[in-house]
Amino acid sequence: MPAPPARMPERAVVITRPRAQAEGLAQAVAARGRRAVVLPLLEIAPVEDAAPLRAALATLASCALVVFVSPNAVDAAFAHLATWPAGVPIGVVGEGSRAALARHGVTGDQATIHAPQDPACSDSEHLLASLDLAALAGRRVLIVRGDGGRALMADTLRAAGALVETVAAYRRSVPRLDAALAARLAALLGGTNDWIITSSEALRGLAGLVRELDPRAGMEALRAQHLIVPHARIAETARALGCTQVTLAGSGDLRLLEALH
């Protein structure tokens, strides 16, 4: 009697968000009967000196708009805030940041929240398109972000006449390829899995780690994976790296989960 065929390893859903934002999505993936693997590709840490952040947050009431560039920016700011000042509008670039605000008790009932209208285009350009830039001329706008990052938002608002300040709320870095991470990456790249990638920076970091892991065949293994991304810019980054199995899901966990099916 012939031996039964070898069982193929279960296809995993690899969640690459920073760990603080990954667990809820991992639980939702598991609830749908899939195996979730949390593999953070960006490490998030507080800024070394929080005094500039606290000083900026102390003057929120004078702002015509406060922009949070990511859920990490929301969480880092609210570590120093008890409540949100009444009447101060907020700008976010994705549903993840809106959900982070809600976790801290701020919803559309408490504040005006501006966001891109198209969930597949949750980025600075589409947030800017949703704003009345002329109404911000001569008024104060605060952008809360990580260290560094794109200058498009600040530059465009300044060109429209807004008085723009930026403040770093957190630091981010790609993890070091130690023995444990190398073993996990090798195992995941040895099969074909679904990878949820929620930032271009994380995807570029993954490509760097993969090249370091296997300079010859690493990128070939990455290109065999199925990538699920929430933003058009991340899809463009993936294709520039030679990845062709890319699903553009749109912003928000529900759309990412639906893309798995």
pLDDT tens-digit series, residues 169-191? 999 999 999 999 999 999 999 99
User: Higher pLDDT residue, 235 or 7?
Assistant: 235
Task: Report whether pLDDT(5) > 60.
Answer: no
The phi, psi pair for 57, rounded to 5°, reads -70, -25
Instruction: Quote the pLDDT of residue 7.
Output: 45
Give all strands (DSSP E) within the chain, no chain letters. 12-15, 35-38, 43-46, 65-68, 90-92, 113-114, 140-146, 163-173, 194-196, 226-229, 246-248
Q: What is the torsional sign of CA 261, 97, 158, 165?
A: negative
64-68, 85-89, 120-124, 164-168: which has the minimum mean pLDDT?
120-124
Q: List all residues 6 or more positions away from 196 whose beta carbon is below 8 Å from its beta carbon.
A: 13, 14, 15, 16, 17, 25, 228, 229, 256
The candidate with the shortest Cα–Cα distance to 231, out of 261, 194, 259, is 259
Residue 6 pLDDT greater than 50, yes or no: no
Q: What is the largest CA-CA distance in the chain?
A: 82
The encoded tokens of residue 23 equal 């667990």
Q: What proportion of the chain, given as a percentage, has pLDDT over 70?
A: 95
Q: Could you give the CA distance from residue 198 to residue 21 in angstroms, rounded to a whole number?
A: 11
Model confidence over 205-216: pLDDT tens digits? 999 999 999 999
DSSP result, 50-106 = -HHHHHHHTTGGG-SEEEE-SHHHHHHHHTT-SSPPTT--EEESSHHHHHHHHHTT-
**Choice between 221 and 152, residue whose per-residue pLDDT is larger:** 221
CA 25, 145, 172 angle in degrees (round to 5)? Answer: 65
| Number of CB atoms found within 10 A of residue 46's CB | 12
pLDDT at 8 over 60: no
Strands 163-173 and 43-46: antiparallel
DSSP 174: P
Domains recognised in the chain with CATH numbers: 12-42+174-259 (3.40.50.10090), 45-172 (3.40.50.10090)
The average pLDDT across 28-57 equals 95
